[in-house]
Chains A and B, each alone.
Chain A
Amino acid sequence: MIVRISGEGQFDLADTESARLNELETSVVAAVEAGEEAAFKQALAALLDHVRSAGSAVADDALEGSDLILPPADTSLAEAESDFTGEGLIPD
């Protein structure tokens, strides 16, 4: 399974990691919904750290698309909140 951390690169993870990723991602979403900046930062960092440590970096010249794309490490709570309300990072 290929996971991209936006603004960073792609990582190759075993398919068996998806349960753990899902768990970590749920914490991120919960923190956003609760509007807790510190918890959000921590949960996002934990998620991205897990991708980095459990996965291996995909070569720059690989042409595979990603199965999952995660937001950049420096995403703010406000950015994440506007993501969920449909006001994306990229204006239409």
Chain B
Amino acid sequence: MAGLTGRMSTVVKAKVSKLLDRAEDPAETLDYSYQKQVEQLQNVKKGIADVVTAKKRLQMQESSLQQSLVKLDTQARQALSQGNEELARAALERKNVAQTELQSLDTQVTELEAQQQKLTDSEKQLRAKIEAFRTKKEVIKAQYSAAEAQVRISEAATGVGEQMADVGLAMQRAVDKTENMRARADAVQELEAAGTFDDVTQLGSGEDDIDKQLKQLSSQSAVDDELAKMKGELGASPAGEAAQISSAEGAPAGESGQQ
């Protein structure tokens, strides 16, 4: 192929050729060649199923974190309305960590969805090529001498082999990505298992290990902001403002009327 001697395509092509050698042996019989292709197609389907499983796992973690978020938010509000700012802060720290994890899981799910779509498209192309190969193989067997058939089958097998190699590359990339994500998901699971996102009212007195970790993991400025916001919404803080609430409660209608 004239002109295209770029390093990049040469490297990529060499890699695919290597896979091609592994995937296709021209000396093998035609039918065996086809049988192998069908086996490879099954592997691709399994690969897609693995990506789907990984995605579902992340989605389950997402919904569990989502529930924790709601629960912790409620608990922070309750704690604050009872004047327990320390407990409210602990709940919001947990919420902040859960929120960060949720965002990261969301990105990963989107990524896996893209991988799944790509693999599904590649699988469709591979299936079409294998089917075309099957038809061609029968035609060639009927029309050509053994020696000639071998040459023509090799040509046809190149197209299937290349597609197979390409799906193989895509699968490998997907596997690498899901493995990275699994490590991250396991870390979240460890936090969950340690009771990080559990009922904050179950906390013992004093700081436990989880609290120390949470302080490091959570964004303290975000927690401060949310605490302030929540206070504003509740119109309450432990000491001074509590009195204002009771006086406001005493004459709610009159106060708004004066404004």
Binding site for B on A (CB under 8 A): 1, 4, 6-9, 15, 18-19, 21-22, 25-26, 28-29, 32, 59-72, 74, 80, 83-84, 88-91
Query: How many inter-chain residue pairs (CB < 8 Å) link A and B?
Result: 111
Q: Are A61 and B131 closer than 8 Å at their CB atoms?
A: yes
- List the one stretch of B5-13, B49-57, B211-219 in contact with chain A: B5-13
- List the one stretch of B74-82, B159-167, B192-200, B237-245 in contact with chain A: B159-167
Q: Are B7 and A4 closer than 8 Å at their CB atoms?
A: no
Of A8, A19, A63, chain B has the most CB atoms within 10 Å of the CB of A63
From residue 98 to 118 of chain B, which have CB atoms closer than 8 A to chain A?
114, 118
In angstroms, how far is the closest chain A Cβ from the Cβ of B126?
Answer: 9
* Candidates B2, B3, B15, B133; contact of A63 at CB < 8 Å: B133
Q: Are B9 and A68 closer than 8 Å at their CB atoms?
A: yes
* Candidates B9, B129, B170; contact of A72 at CB < 8 Å: B170
Q: Are B8 and A71 closer than 8 Å at their CB atoms?
A: yes
Given contact pairs A61-B128, A69-B13, A90-B168, A29 touches B1 in the complex (Cβ within 8 A): no
> Using Cβ atoms and an 8 Å threshold, which residues of chain A touch B131?
61
What are 17 A-to-B residue pairs whose CB atoms are below 8 Å? A6-B12, A7-B173, A8-B121, A21-B3, A22-B6, A25-B8, A29-B7, A60-B128, A61-B129, A61-B131, A63-B136, A65-B159, A66-B162, A68-B9, A69-B12, A70-B8, A83-B15
Q: Are A65 and B12 closer than 8 Å at their CB atoms?
A: no
Q: Are A63 and B169 closer than 8 Å at their CB atoms?
A: no
Interface size of B by Cβ–Cβ distance < 8 Å? 40
Cα A22 to Cα B15 with chains together (Å)? 20
Of A7, A28, A29, A70, chain B has the most CB atoms within 10 Å of the CB of A7
Q: Are A60 and B129 closer than 8 Å at their CB atoms?
A: yes
From residue 159 to 212 of chain B, which have CB atoms closer than 8 A to chain A?
159-162, 166, 168-170, 172-173
Q: Are B12 and A70 closer than 8 Å at their CB atoms?
A: yes
Q: Are B1 and A63 closer than 8 Å at their CB atoms?
A: no
Binding site for A on B (CB under 8 A): 1-9, 11-13, 15-16, 19, 114, 118, 121-122, 124-125, 128-129, 131-133, 136, 155-156, 158-162, 166, 168-170, 172-173
Residue of A nearest to B125 (CB): A60
* Candidates A19, A25, A62, A80; contact of B9 at CB < 8 Å: A25
Residue of B nearest to A73 (CB): B118
In angstroms, how far is the closest chain B Cβ from the Cβ of A6?
Answer: 6
In angstroms, how far is the closest chain A Cβ from the Cβ of B28?
Answer: 17
Q: Are A63 and B158 closer than 8 Å at their CB atoms?
A: yes
> Using Cβ atoms and an 8 Å threshold, which residues of chain B touch A84?
7-8, 11
Cα A67 to Cα B6 with chains together (Å)? 13
> Using Cβ atoms and an 8 Å threshold, which residues of chain A touch B5?
22
* Candidates B7, B136, B159, B170; contact of A7 at CB < 8 Å: B170
Besides A4-B162, A62-B159, 7 other CB < 8 A contacts?
A: A6-B170, A7-B118, A22-B6, A28-B6, A59-B128, A63-B160, A70-B12
Q: Are A63 and B156 closer than 8 Å at their CB atoms?
A: yes
Cα A76 to Cα B129 with chains together (Å)? 29
Q: Are B11 and A83 closer than 8 Å at their CB atoms?
A: yes
> Using Cβ atoms and an 8 Å threshold, which residues of chain A touch B7?
29, 84
In angstroms, how far is the closest chain B Cβ from the Cβ of A84?
Answer: 6
